[in-house]
Structure 1
């Protein structure tokens, strides 16, 4: 008889859903196999659970992918828990990944102190964990390609916060507050030299065109002006976050 998924198992499944590139949920994926073995479930059942979670994503529902009949109330609840507290659930994911030996030993030892009481070092560890979760989720959602230039060299890619880390703690680990950008466009976005409009199209600041040479503008910015970004395959960037970027960070 099939047993119900526990909350811990659903958190681990949601964490894997966030970190895997979309379309890599099949039962033969090594990460799917690793999680299935860790929680004593079949590879197929974990693959199906990831598909159930994907069907709850509003972005996919807009594309005509409806919630699967076997997406449970517990699936919906864990989806909402993550969206209500990304940073808190990122910490809980870490605890469970250590407990189920889903992290490399050296990472588990380094971060075990996170659960041994609140100190300055544990607060630093929480920050690092949220940053790691955010980066892996955003980059996987954009299939490891810059959403402006489509550069796909991982070493040049950054998970950029739309609302800066320091300005809104609730948005720190929220992938809807993220864009995958190459290092140059990340810096330009962070400094308010470029932004996205209501249709996700690139616009750049007058200060940028006044400061750079014609050749630099033509090479790095002009080709993308007015063009929509490449959308992620989950966690579409939040327009409220983008509006705040345009109104409070972008330099007109």
Structure 2
């Protein structure tokens, strides 16, 4: 099998994994790479090499001087484009493919897919698909930020949220687009979601007048010092400028009041 050409499904699974691993973990010793390699009957080295081929197509990687490996195929490029055109559909399809070859959720994902016994039939399917999508988005976003809040630096995974820049409900096409995400602590996620903070086009934090008027010690300690500070940018899936502009125009409370 290892000498045969990669199939479309194998490449989808490889790219699905690529999106969820930090660049520094694209190596043959990574347990997730080993599991995928065994499931598709390829060597860990071959899978790692394919992931680094994908990195050569990633502008967020190449713009930093890292080039990945040359040799990305035409089909690699097609898979790249297909995912970027339909993140949501491909995330679900890849999870189905994973389970079809007994490559279920990773250990840290397993609890996310456990459903109460009273969830049956269509309800169970809907909830399961929702969790699949949320899990993919979370892993893709958090891996880009190396599991650290881009505003506070908090690295406790239980306190981190893959926060949508343009809300989930307002842009179906980009619900799972990792470039529509920020890794934030729960408190920063809440403030961003409610439009109490936003970002400038150059990724600097803008604190709302509402927060600036608060005389609470917590607000003055946690939020006010963020004003004008640039967030820590991810190594890939850099926030899309168009999404940031939409958040600032549509969600930021200062601009909503002006409208």
Fold in common (TM above 0.5): yes
1:6 deviates by 0.5
**Alignment correspondent of 2:240:** 238
Could you tell me how far apart the structure 1 residues matched to 2:100 and 2:215 are? 52
SS in 2 for 1:179: strand
**Alignment correspondent of 1:222:** 224
1:104 deviates by 4.9
Q: Is the contact between residue 22 and residue 143 of structure 1 (CA under 8 Å) also seen in structure 2? A: no
Could you tell me how far apart the structure 2 residues matched to 1:244 and 1:109 are? 32
Pick closer, same or farther for the CA change 1:218–1:211 going to 2, 3 Å: closer
Pick closer, same or farther for the CA change 1:54–1:69 going to 2, 3 Å: closer
Could you tell me how far apart the structure 2 residues matched to 1:220 and 1:130 are? 31
Q: 2:192 aligns with which of 161, 175, 189?
A: 189
SS in 2 for 1:19: coil
Q: Which runs of 5+ in 2 are unaligned?
A: 116-120, 255-259
2:86 aligned with 1:85: yes
Pick closer, same or farther for the CA change 1:100–1:146 going to 2, 3 Å: same
1:57 deviates by 0.8
TM-score by length of structure 2 reads 0.88
Give matches, 1:21-170, under 5 Å. 21-66=22-67, 68-104=69-105, 119-170=122-173
Aligned length in residues: 245
Q: Is the contact between residue 113 and residue 131 of structure 2 (CA under 8 Å) also seen in structure 1? A: no
Q: Is the contact between residue 60 and residue 66 of structure 1 (CA under 8 Å) also seen in structure 2? A: yes
Could you tell me how far apart the structure 2 residues matched to 1:45 and 1:128 are? 30
CA RMSD between the two structures: 2.1
1:155 deviates by 0.6
